[in-house]
């Protein structure tokens, strides 16, 4: 069945989690445009609980790599998402964190850049908070890495034969 698509929906379909980057930096203007998209992300009750720490320093980025798992050591920049850490609103904070992360990935893709998520695990959040001067009560779990795509390295990766489940297993029309 042929479906109508648009430039935007084609872009959205192509947003994948990228971990292979070239060393080329990203211009500050591009980064600010991506951050503007992040700033305009909607949140529960419009409480806007999210903030980001923009990490460009290679040594700090290396520490972020060590605090996460399977992440991209060579990205140009890492955006560390910070939320207030209110235990009573944990579910909403994590939802807002994820929604912001996705928008940042999409904004990066719209600029032709690669981007990927790393989740901080174990001692990772505490170590990252200490390194970046984030107050200890705040919640830090998601890092969005952004950089220029290393197309050769991406092509060389083994391909998942079914990167997504079929539509029949995803969408249930009128009844589950």
Residues forming the site for ligand FMN (CB under 6 A): 16-17, 19, 68-71, 98, 117-119, 163
The residue nearest ligand FMN at its CB is: 16
10, burial (CB in 10 Å: exposed 0-12, middle 13-18, buried 19+): exposed
Strand 114-119: give its sheet, edge to edge.
Answer: 51-55, 77-83, 139-147, 114-119
CB of 29 to ligand FMN, least distance (A): 27
Looking at beta carbons only, is 39 or 99 nearer to ligand FMN?
99
* Closer Cβ to ligand FMN, 49 or 124, answer by number: 124
Least distance to ligand FMN, CB of residue 68, Å: 6
- Residue 174 CB, nearest approach to ligand FMN (Å): 28
């Amino acid at each position: 069945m042929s479906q109508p698509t648009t430039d935007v929906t084609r872009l959205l379909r192509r947003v994948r989690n990228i971990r292979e980057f070239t060393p080329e930096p990203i211009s500050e203007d591009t980064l600010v445009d991506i951050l503007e998209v992040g700033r305009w992300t909607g949140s529960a009750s419009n409480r806007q609980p999210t903030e980001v720490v923009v990490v460009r320093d290679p040594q700090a980025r290396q520490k972020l790599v060590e605090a996460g798992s399977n992440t991209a050591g060579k990205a140009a920049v890492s955006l560390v998402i910070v939320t207030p850490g209110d235990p009573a609103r944990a579910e909403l904070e994590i939802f807002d964190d994820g929604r912001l992360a996705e928008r940042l990935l999409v904004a990066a893709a719209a600029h032709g850049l690669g981007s990927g998520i790393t989740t901080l695990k174990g001692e990772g959040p505490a170590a990252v908070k200490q390194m970046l001067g984030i107050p200890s009560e705040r919640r830090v779990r998601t890092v969005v890495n952004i950089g220029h795509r290393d197309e050769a390295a991406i092509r060389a990766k083994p391909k998942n034969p079914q990167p997504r489940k079929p539509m029949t297993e995803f969408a249930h029309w009128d009844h589950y």
